[in-house]
Amino acid sequence: MNPNPLATAAVDLNDLHFLRTLGESGSFTLASRRLHVTQSALTRRIQAIEARLGTRLFERTTRAVRTTEAGEFLLQQSSQLLSDVAQLLHQFQQTHGNGPMRIRVGVSHTISLAHLPGLFSRNLQNQPDLQPVVSHHPSSTLLEQLADASLDLAILCPPKTLPANIRVAHRFNDAFTVIAPAQLPPPPFEPRSQAYKQWLRAQPWMTLGGHSETAAQLRAWSQRCDLAVSSRMELDSFDLMIHLAAVGVGIAHVPIRAIAAFPRRRSLRRLPSPERFSRQLVVLARKDRNPPAAITQFIDGILF
């Protein structure tokens, strides 16, 4: 028996990393930038791997690079392996390394700045050596990064389905309210009346754009309330909506928590909602048997 099977393997972990980067990039130019190698060096590396395996893994065209059936199989089957290795090395560094305790937290675009103190303040007090590394991405990107161990935790509105290796570690509700510029006269109608809904429909609305779960839930809320509003402006940030409402651009449906820390709350008016809306936010983590203590303590330290 060969005492070191890796010594005669057709590909190693570094090769798989190169293959995966090229497959995700769809371009030798982009992949070489991400890998910090020249394009010619990457081309030679891929050709050598294909030669050792005896099959083509990528189809090259003048515009893009696509994986072959064999390439797709190899990338799919090796994805979990690479994620497990990345997570193993990260946990080793956290447990046995000499550097600061790092925790990589991804926050959805639909999480406002006012949510962050409740997520981080107690943790920074309880774990003074903790060094959070925070990134801000769409929910779909956060799920991918959490699944491949590029993140330790992701905070977002939960999708309808979760990857098999992801779990919900914490949940909390996030209530919304309708805001308008303070100079807008209050409507002289009952909140559930058709006259009030007609008045709301006539206002210039700022709405959440994109295909996030929160945007889908807000559209469903509008339909339930018979508020097929015409959007004056689509944005991807509740913080930006609040600032624009304060200067008179229009009205918006935003998290109550997001306006709590807004310094110019007197420039806003809260309007009654025809129907209450609350989304659920979750903290997602990987299904690891023995997660680092810093991650467990971080989840326990969330104030919501």
- Give the CATH number, domain containing residue 62: 1.10.10.10
Q: Output the tens digit of pLDDT for each of the chain's 304 residues.
A: 455 444 445 677 778 888 988 988 888 988 888 888 888 889 998 999 999 898 999 998 877 899 999 988 888 887 767 766 666 555 555 555 555 678 899 999 899 889 999 998 888 888 888 888 898 888 888 988 888 788 999 999 998 888 888 999 999 999 999 999 999 998 888 888 899 999 999 999 999 988 889 999 999 999 998 888 878 899 989 999 999 999 999 999 999 999 988 889 999 999 998 899 999 999 999 988 788 888 898 999 998 8
85 and 75 co-located in one domain? no
Distance CA 238, CA 258 (A): 7
- Residue the block writes with tokens 């699944």: 147
- Give residue 84's pLDDT: 66
Query: Are residue 140 and residue 191 in the same domain, yes or no?
Result: no
Does residue 140 share a domain with residue 286?
yes
Strands 268-271, 166-181: pairing is antiparallel
* 235 and 206 Cβ atoms separated by less than 8 Å: yes
Domain of 205: which CATH number?
Answer: 3.40.190.290
pLDDT of residue 221: 92
How far is Cα 73 from Cα 167, in angstroms, rounded to an integer?
Answer: 26
Number of domains within the chain: 3
Q: Which of 79, 102, 123 is the last residue of a domain?
A: 79
Residues 6+ apart with CB under 8 A from 128: none
Same domain as 111, residue 70: no
The confidence score (pLDDT) of residue 96 equals: 58
Give the pLDDT confidence score for residue 5 in this predicted structure: 47
∠215-157-243 over CA atoms, to 5°? 55
Residues 179 and 149 in one domain: no
The domain containing residue 260 runs over which residues?
Answer: 174-280
> In this structure, are 92 and 144 located in the same domain?
yes
The answer for residues whose C-beta is within 8 angstroms of residue 248's C-beta and 6 or more apart is 181, 183
Domain boundary among 79, 96, 127: 79
Task: Note whether 151 and 289 are same-domain residues.
Answer: yes
Report the pLDDT value the prediction gives residue 62, as an integer from 0 to 100.
74
pTM higher than 0.75, yes or no?
A: no
